[in-house]
Amino acid sequence: MVSDAGTYAPVPSDLIKRAPKVLLHDHLDGGMRPQTVIELADEAGYTELPETDPVKLDQWFRDAADSGSLERYLETFAHTVGVTQTTAALSRVAREAAEDLAADGVVYAEVRFAPELHVEKGLNENEILEAVLAGFADGQRNAKAAGKPIRIGVLLTAIRTASHSRRIAELAVAEQYRDRGVVGFDIAGAEAGFPPTRHLDAFEFLRRENAHFTIHAGEAFGLPSIWEAIQWCGAERLGHGVRIIDDIEIGPDGEPHLGRLAAFVRDRRIPLEMCPSSNVQTGAADSIEHHPIGLLRRLGFRVTVNTDNRLMSGTSMSHEMELLSKAFDYGLNDLQWFTINAMKSAFIPFDERLAIINEQIKPQYSSLRAVLAERLTGRTSAP
């Protein structure tokens, strides 16, 4: 589709790669390099990997995650968690995550991980967090030196099927970490049978501490999960939230009609951390072309685009945006809209969010529109 430079779609892949991106939903143990998994397994004496060739292992993760089941999808993490039980391993994967995201054009990212999953060899949660923060610091320095600056915020995740959420919440607001990059809290894991209200004590504590938190909700489970996350627990954002579509009915006239919960989510501008490829893998969406993000964007929900697990989904922010651009004829204006939505919803101070929007996102998108306009002019003026 050719119109003006801001709405030309699909956007050329090289321009998507160059576009500034903001990522709110990315799991550290779901974004590792296959070669790193193999090397860390060798160092740790971990013998459970299904493949020891990086190309084959990469494909194995994608195939295993592509099951249509969240529970089966989560089983793939046994390997990435199994090889990250030392401070050296944790620092390495954090550094590489920052470098990989920066290379993809991400200017701000919130990366989440669960400290309680890395204690198998005797590390305590403070040691684990220190190692991850050190790795991110190294990665940010390396990215800046390479001319691709990125800022990383850390979300501490508690596993909803366990009972450590209050302790992890306390770690998230500890002064020595809160001012060193820990920006919020999350719960993750199997949704069915493990509602967010099981961790109400942690959320009430965080609210008293003026702390930010998001909750995985509305991915594998439906509207009750979203309702509890918002109305009982006070979630500021929804991790995925894709099943909010169940509260939107298409009438005989073809017009969408919002139920009370969907209307509340839209009216309150509650951000939806949508992860298109991952949602298809876990069965939360039928396909990219039929992903609810298309309708939700048209209806003006505060939708953001995310990767979830780059290894398991074989994806990146550039890849997710390219998929959406092709599926929904999104142009640069649309991609900028998603990006600014995410930056507005980040868990850092308002003035810092505004600075990234005005000093990085908007100017860089303006430059890309100029590049695209030049290409289109050259194309239309050619004999």
List, by residue number, the catalytic residues. 219
Q: Euclidean distance between the first and final Cα of the chain, in Å?
A: 20
**d(Cα 263, Cα 269) in Å, to the nearest integer?**
10
Residue with tokens 């054009």: 105
CB neighbours (10 Å) of residue 362? 15
Q: What is the DSSP letter of 213?
A: B
Contact (CB, 8 A) for 360 and 22:
no
Interstrand relation of 272-274 and 237-240 (parallel, antiparallel or unpaired): parallel
Tell me the sheet residues that pair with 249: 257
Q: Which residues of 304-325 are buried (b: 16+ CB within 10 A; e: fewer)?
A: bbbbbbbbbbbbbbbbbbbbbb
Interstrand relation of 248-250 and 256-258 (parallel, antiparallel or unpaired): antiparallel
DSSP percent split of the chain into helix, strand, coil, nearest 5: 55, 15, 30
In the chain, what's the furthest Cα-to-Cα distance? 70
- Residue type for position 163: S
Residue whose C-alpha is closest to residue 109's, from 292, 278, 310, 288: 310
